[in-house]
Chain A
């Protein structure tokens, strides 16, 4: 068999290369490695929102058979601490735990029990008695604490033009506030680790999205050299942002392993998944829009009030989308944060865009209704090819094409302009649309490629510290290597999720595919270039990699490569765009509703593998359905705990909630974005669901729902908007 030079590997809808392991139950996640002598840890959480531990009685727990240690602030080792007040939370931030008797939020770790068996650890954790002195004034109620809001340190406020003037020249204005609740990521795999401390060196089989950042966080927390930390995470059972950071269970497990000189396995409970991780915080987004009769926007402001913890700062960039999506001369973006007694929020799928687009795209629908304009036409009217917020052109922007092609496919022309006028039996029927956009970053990324010539065939192994959190990294990296080496994808092996491999930015922020694949490309190109150079073969000369190895008299060869964004990338704004159309049926009696169908159009550059890309889009859409339908973490007003404390109260969508979806990709190659022409697609889907469904509900019922989730109990009590015929 001969190697073809240009195997069309990129763009093919191949099955996932690791798929067989997953469907056979053979893929190994963090705690599934067989480690001898491992013991089990169970965390203990505070049961007050603010105050101090004044007494701990561990005697009953310690007396239990099998219990090896109970660690609290009294006997925990001293770890690195924050130097400044209210530091910004980032993916390399240290995760100290059990360092003082102070309690900052309900559910904060106050101890950990280690025992020989899982059952023993779980039980013993219940027997540790902790006495608190409670502070009388915890900040736990968002609406009552608005006066405590601060301006975030990373000041993101922005103004162009003059808002007042813009509103004054408008024919129609809108002033509305949109509320989104606390949400939790809830990947199916619980946060889990097997940690081992061995002579100052740490090995962590830990479910993480970002391997390199995790080694930094662990090293800094324990104040050991980064080279002594090994993080291994070949399979990650979902992340959605919750595994970007190195959370405190990691510190607890490593600390326990150090103390006991045994490997420690720790899996947080589903209940603890509400407090062990970040979360999408509660936002109140006030939108003011002004528009001329012809539909041109004159003013747009987006003022976000959110919360952070009392010890760290995180700001979800909700207003980002209002800065760049439409052509509007007068534009104001502000952020305020209430420090509250909850853990620090952190990125959840499409932070900023998912919530920001609900506010902006609902407000656009409201304004279109005021102007008696078609919502698709209104958006097209305000399209811009320049990112006015960044003062840069977009690398490519096919939003108008997304809207028009989607409208055609969906049958948008059948949407009644008059809300509450289409019925089927006992159902109100409505159509809604939302634009979608998501920043598509590209970060420095390295890879190593190992080539081996065997029986005339070249086998390649690509190594990167990248992760596959379900996004398809293994598959698209294999396709990339096959493409750039000109060998069949079956001859490519991909090894990921190990800190001993070359550094990548990890999975998050829609940069994974772009950064990983360009990193793999760079390594392959570097290998070929070196092999050619050694034999004075011209760069442009076509030759198979097998022949190259032979001419070099090599059976094995390895090379590294690093991809970095170009100058052109930096001079442009790089975003993926899309549009989502929803048809919603609302039961007139119960006000339960079903999303009957959706059409989603996406323009995200080169599609590396339509099968996995489609999965990313419908995955985003499904999580978006959860966001609009049912997901919310409720805060108990007297105690400050999350009262939605399990999968039985925090309702993520199930199969029956999901609609039929038609997904259309636009043929696009964005060479400004990067050499392979691709853009991010993992978060694009979620950014357009909530508004398109809320807008469809308005079209169906005349009820304007400005607070997520939109539940039957809210719908039944909501009034029909003035001007809608009831």
Chain B
């Protein structure tokens, strides 16, 4: 029996299934606990203690929140388009969850049994393009949610959210394109390998696109300086008619996006699973398993830095007005990123032969 199970484990299909389950479990726990971390850190920034009552250090708080959301009454308005109303929350959170599959978390730890990469689920050729298209799919959730609610206010909120996310996706894409040009590949692991071989993280030569990416990633996930679509207590957003777990799904979707974009950023700009100040590839040939685990740790630390940046910015800046938001998007970020793109393209063409 055991040998049969062991043989089954070696097949690539089952191994992939196991990896999917592990990835989902880890992703969900991280998403659940980033809500707690955010609330506690926001407390620290405002010199108070965050939620610390439920369990030691408030560690059971996310579970309590989830239970509360599930128990709440789930209402569907009469005038709403009920099918779209039910589908829309899943649309926000599913695409970014798919995006986790594209990431590569460490240098390959190849098992002797089956020649599979243990720290990557699907290292697709056009990984970056897939990520970008998935993130634009996420807009549908907000738009459909606003449209299907059957009320004017969520409708306008949905339109607002849609135009914001569309306008900030252009500079985001353009800043990522510069990275792709430097690395000569759309595959995420190739981008990291390029940074490892050059021994230079891309945020140094591409500092402008790095800053643009930082701004756009906050705007993409509707977080605080740009949180007009939601506007937690002040503005009527697209999810006004939602209640219970459907409302919770919008928040889970937002936090999934936060986690995903803060895991994508180190791969693009900070060298991903590369350990700083160490020649990774040379060492990897000697101690493959040690280096891949250490690389995984460094990747985790880097993405935690980005998640911290999200919360830090949320604690610091007030919200932009809507016209200011669109002005920043179209009149500042877009020209800068276009010029940046041309400069990087010129340097790539003529200087780095």
- Asked if A and B bind, the verdict is no
Point out residues on B near A: beta carbons under 8 Å: none
